[in-house]
Amino acid sequence: MRPAPTILHLDMDAFYASAEQAAKPSLRGKAVVVGGLGPRGVVATASYEARILGVHSAMPTAQARRLAPNAAYLVPRFQLYRSVSEQVMELLGRLSPLVEPLSLDEAFVDLEAGGAADDAASARSTGERLRTAIRAVTGLSGSVGLAGSKMLAKIASEQAKPDGLVLIEPGTERELLAPMPVRTLPGVGPATGDHLRRAGMTTVHDLAEAGEDELVRLVGKAHGHGLYRMALGLDDRPVVAERDAKSVSVEDTFDVDLHDRVRVRAEVERLAVRCVERLRAAHRSGRTVVLKVRRYDFSTLTRSETLRGPTDDPTVVREAAARLLEAVDTTGGVRLLGVGVTGLADFTQEDLFAQAADARELAERAREPEPERQAPESGTEGTGPAEEEPESAEQLAARRWPAGHDVHHAAHGHGWVQGSGVGRVTVRFEEPGGPVGRVRTFRIDDPELTPADPLPLVRDPVDYSSWPASLPKSRSGPGSAAGEESRP
Per-residue pLDDT of the chain (488 residues; tens, 9 = 90+): 789 999 999 999 999 999 999 999 999 999 999 998 888 888 999 999 999 999 999 899 999 999 999 999 999 999 999 999 999 999 999 999 999 999 899 999 999 999 999 999 999 999 999 999 999 999 999 999 999 999 999 999 999 999 999 999 998 989 999 999 999 998 888 888 899 999 999 999 999 999 999 999 998 888 899 999 999 999 999 999 876 778 899 998 888 889 999 999 999 999 999 999 989 888 889 999 999 999 988 888 999 999 988 999 999 999 999 999 998 999 889 999 999 999 988 765 544 444 445 545 555 555 555 444 444 443 333 333 334 455 555 556 666 889 999 999 999 999 999 988 888 999 999 999 999 999 999 998 899 999 999 999 998 877 777 777 654 444 333 333 334 455 44
Give the whole-angstrom CA distance, residue 144 versus residue 154.
8
| Strand 334-345 versus strand 438-443 pairing type | unpaired
Distance of CA 247 to the CA centre of its chain: 17
Give the whole-angstrom CA distance, residue 237 versus residue 232.
15
Give the whole-angstrom CA distance, residue 416 versus residue 430.
8
Active-site position among 20, 49, 100, 106: 106
pTM: 0.76
Give the whole-angstrom CA distance, residue 106 versus residue 85.
9
Q: Catalytic site residue 106?
A: yes
Whole-Å CA distances, 484 to 284, 339, 467: 42, 45, 21
Asked if 112 and 118 touch (Cβ cutoff 8 Å), the reply is yes
